[in-house]
Amino acid sequence: MLTTTGIKRVLPHRYPMLLVDRVTELVPEERLTALKAVTCNEPWYEGLAEDADDEGHGYPQTLLVESWCQAAGVLAAWDKPNPDVLSGQVMLFGSISDVVLHRPVYPGDVLEHRVRLVRALSDTVIFEGEALVGGETVMEVGRVVMAMRPAAELTAAREQSPAAQPAGVQ
């Protein structure tokens, strides 16, 4: 069992992009179950039109994927925690495949993410699983591939981005 503080020791994600609240089961190198409560007070609902209907309050689908992947990230990195992305190895998304969205998720739902390790290779991990609400599958995840890469690779890439150029700095 990991509380939010435990998750923060493993993942570099912080508010408002820390989308895993609690880990309820963790079998190293095998599987993990984690919870994320959805509330109408999340920043993603700021600016939603006042006349938005129930469906308009559906949790952003891409963040359902992100939340599940962060749960997978805990399983991938729990024994080599690196909450600081600037040093050592960083876990990068490689790919996401066959994610099926069965039904919308609404404020008040609690997501139960089930993550299974499909394959762990020297520097690559592959996961699969699903997300449930009230025991009903709301999303299936066919395959997520994560690769461990040296942080330097990321910082080098950033040097060429507009934000890093002196002229480009806002």
Q: Which residues bind to another protein, rule: CB under 8 A?
A: 12-18, 43-49, 52, 55-56, 60-63, 65-66, 69, 85-86, 92-104, 118-119, 121-122, 124, 126, 128, 142-143, 145, 147, 154-155, 157-158, 160-164, 168, 170
Residue 73: name the closest of 122, 23, 38, 134 by CA.
23
How many whole angstroms separate alpha carbon 166 and alpha carbon 144?
A: 36
Backbone Cα Rg of the chain: 17
Tell me how far CA of residue 38 lies from CA of 13, 57, 82, 123, in angstroms: 17, 11, 26, 33
Q: Which CB sits closer to another protein, 134 or 158?
A: 158
Q: Which CB sits closer to another protein, 14 or 135?
A: 14
Q: Which CB sits closer to another protein, 32 or 125?
A: 125
CB of 40 to another protein, least distance (A): 10
CB of 167 to another protein, least distance (A): 11
How many whole angstroms separate alpha carbon 46 and alpha carbon 35?
A: 23
